[in-house]
Structure 1
Amino acid sequence: MFDLRVVSVCIALASGAASAQEAQVAFGSVKADPTLPVEVTSETLNVNQADGSAEFLGNVIVIQGEMRLSAERVLVIYNEDRSAIQRLEATENVVLVSPPDAAEGDRAEYTIDTGVIRMNGNVLLTQGPSVISGDQMVANLTSGTATMTGRVKTILQPGDN
């Protein structure tokens, strides 16, 4: 049998026009809570008091609940009054894990209050033995869904479930 989560990819790809270039998939088995604390670990931290940003460099790991984001560089941007994180911008070897799924890409932007992560550049989503690639993925961690766009390609593997 095929993984049921990727069956929706086949339906989306088959039902759309050839130029549609979009696939909607499930992402992560646990709905995220964007109000949870964000833990960041890195080799180096540079704080810019003027613009209210913090740059984490070298083997950066960001954890919020079950979600884990890793990259070589993560820029943390705070809101205007610097009371909360507005968004995170990750670059270089970006990997997003929301168990049991994982995605990698060139760049990711995580808007904290909405729970939405936008990954760009050579995005590769792995769901068990199945793989989906595209130019961009927008994952909504609070709803557990994702949309792949831009030259979407999938490889479906027969599974045991």
Structure 2
Amino acid sequence: MRALLPLLILSSSLIVPPAGAQQRHNTNAPIDFGADHIELQDKANRAVLSGNVSVKQAEMTLNAARMTVAYTGQVVGGSPQVSRLDAAGGVTVRRPDQTAKSQYAIYDLNRRVITMLGAVTLTQGTNTVNGGRLTINLDTGRAVVDGSSVGGSSGAPGTGTTQQRGGRVTGTFSVPNRN
């Protein structure tokens, strides 16, 4: 089993280096989806998926209760070009050797970055890291967990969220059997 070490701890952040070259994600792969319901909002260049939403791209799967798919006005090969996925409600991202869970997630396809917010848990084997925010760079496989979190409705008017600083990153790392 691979450990998450070596790691670097900086100001309540945990940086988890890629476990190997296989962590690089094919962000050019098509995105397949399934949901109980879909609402197309063509004038707004988006689709809203709800109910057991599942999105798969290459070896990565993203599941949530609800997801908004934003696309550009460009059409290539008869298909609109997806630029962003916003997921909410029991979000789970599964990649080879890693699973991440949170309340919310944003997949920015242009930057090739997934940001997960709210009660984040990142698991690799028996190793677990918990925090408020997880950022995964799909090009490098690098995952950064920090203690920032998303709270209730005490933020800026109309936003419904507030970012709390100074949270902690916690977790458990397995150690090799030294018999």
- Residues 149-158 or 61-70, more deviating: 149-158
Question: Identity over the aligned pairs, expressed in percent?
Answer: 26
Q: Which residue of 1 aligns with 2:173?
A: 156
Instruction: Name which of 30, 34, 38 aligns with 1:41.
Output: 34
Alpha carbons of 1:103 and 1:27: their partners in 2 closer, same or farther (altered >3 Å)? farther
Q: Counterpart amino acid of 2:172?
A: I
Aligned ranges 1:68-147 → 2 under 5 Å: 68-81=61-74, 83-147=80-144
| Structure with bigger RCO (C-alpha 8 Å, 6+ apart) | 1
Partners of 1:155 and 1:107 lie apart in 2 by 23
Which runs of 4 or more aligned residues in structure 1 lie more than 2 Å from their structure 2 counterparts after TM superposition?
26-30, 80-83
Partners of 1:69 and 1:8 lie apart in 2 by 27
The normalised TM-score by structure 2 is 0.78
Tell me the number of residue pairs that the alignment of Structure 1 and Structure 2 aligns: 151
Following superposition, the deviation at residue 158 of structure 1 comes to 2.2
Of the two, which has the highest radius of gyration? Answer: 2
Alpha carbons of 1:27 and 1:70: their partners in 2 closer, same or farther (altered >3 Å)? farther
Q: Gapped runs of 5+ residues in structure 2?
A: 148-167
**Cα RMSD (Å) of the superposition?**
1.7
Partners of 1:72 and 1:130 lie apart in 2 by 26
1:27–1:141: 8 Å Cα contact kept in structure 2? no
Q: Which residue of 1 aligns with 2:16?
A: 25
SS at match of 1:8: coil
The answer to whether residue 72 in structure 2 is matched with residue 55 in structure 1 is no
The normalised TM-score by structure 1 is 0.87
2:23–2:140: 8 Å Cα contact kept in structure 1? no
SS at match of 2:6: helix
